[in-house]
A = this chain, B = another copy of it.
């Protein structure tokens, strides 16, 4: 139950991982595979989302800005404000491509696609 001070925004990373992701129509479109953190700053870089179910391209993931995931308690999952078509056309990468030192280009291409400025250095 929220207190008057009202801080209700804490969530454990282990609870986020594995959570389902829905489109605005309420269709299940994927799963949060992981959350990418910045080692030396306090920034959450992005959520790593699998949409393999309909993309059919194997172990490829999307980097979705954390702030675009909206938790819906009724669905027990996150809603992203994108259509299936937008998601299908989005850049998709392997986990390694998203994490290795030279993966910056992949992350930047994703944020550019989603029209969100990267907030990390």
Contacts and interface: CB of A to CB of B under 8 A. Distances in A.
A22 B5 CA distance: 35
B34 A13 contact: yes
Interface in A65-110: 65-67, 71, 95, 98-99, 101-104, 107
A21 interface: no
Given A37-B11, A37-B16, A67 B45 contact: no
Number of copies: 2
B41 A9 contact: yes
B35 A101 contact: no
Interface size class, chain A: 35 or more
Nearest to A9: B39
B99 A12 contact: yes
A45 B10 CA distance: 8
A56 to B, nearest CB: 24
B37 A10 contact: yes
Interface string A1-32: 11101111111111011000000000000000
Interface of A: 1-3, 5-14, 16-17, 34-45, 48, 65-67, 71, 95, 98-99, 101-104, 107, 119-121
